[in-house]
């Protein structure tokens, strides 16, 4: 069973744990997730499409990422998540943490921080090995394609990620 640390409003570990996806958080409690913006040397982004059997946001486009396990560092988590979901090792890539945002959803009892990372490395489509139970398909997309995915199908966390994309494009 996967366990996550519970953090306070200042993103400090409280010493308490929760079961993964056990949305029963008290006000002021948060969990930590990570998202990786993986770019090729041409500035395009590796995006994946969620399987259609997903309970939430089925078929939507997204960036690789997921929950940070109890005791795990956020950077280690994103390196692990990218490797699991798309088979790319970003541990020696240029880049790192670029942005954190916080979401509070007391009605859903799901409060979280998201650490967003940007990694730039030389890869091609043939290097991608998707986690079939998670990923329907992938693309190495321009930002304009990502904007179209958001309009046509949906792109998970698009509005929250826009500041990170804006920072990268400068």
Q: Let me know: does 60 contact 44? Beta carbons within 8 Å.
A: no
Tally the domains of the chain: 1
pLDDT at 39: 97
Q: CA–CA separation, 168 vs 36, rounded Å?
A: 13
pLDDT at 107: 85
Q: Chain-centre distance of CA 24, in angstroms?
A: 21
Supply the CATH number for residue 54's domain.
Answer: 3.90.79.10
Spell out, as residue ranges, where the chain has pLDDT lower than 70: 170
- What residue numbers bound the domain in which 74 lies? 3-169
- How close are the terminal C-alpha atoms of the chain, in Å? 41
15: left (phi over 0), alpha (psi -120 to 50) or beta: left
pLDDT at 56: 83
pLDDT at 170: 59
pLDDT at 159: 93
- Within the chain, residue ranges assigned H as helices are 74-86, 143-152, 158-169
Q: Let me know: does 95 contact 117? Beta carbons within 8 Å.
A: yes
């Amino acid at each position: 069973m996967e366990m996550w640390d519970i953090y306070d409003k200042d993103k400090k570990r409280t010493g308490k744990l929760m079961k993964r996806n056990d949305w029963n958080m008290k006000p002021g409690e948060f969990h930590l997730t990570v998202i990786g913006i993986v770019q090729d040397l041409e500035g395009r982004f590796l995006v994946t499409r969620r399987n259609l059997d997903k309970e939430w946001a089925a078929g939507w486009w997204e960036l690789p990422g997921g929950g940070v396990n109890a005791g795990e560092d956020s950077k280690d988590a994103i390196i692990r998540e990218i490797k699991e979901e798309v088979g790319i090792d970003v541990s020696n890539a240029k880049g790192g943490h670029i942005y954190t945002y916080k979401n509070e959803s007391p009605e859903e009892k799901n409060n979280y921080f998201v650490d967003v990372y940007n990694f730039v490395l030389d890869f091609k489509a043939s290097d991608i090995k998707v986690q079939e139970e998670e990923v329907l398909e992938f693309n190495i997309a321009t930002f304009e394609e990502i904007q179209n995915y958001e309009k046509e199908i949906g792109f998970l966390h698009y509005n929250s990620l826009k500041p990170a994309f804006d920072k990268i494009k400068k």
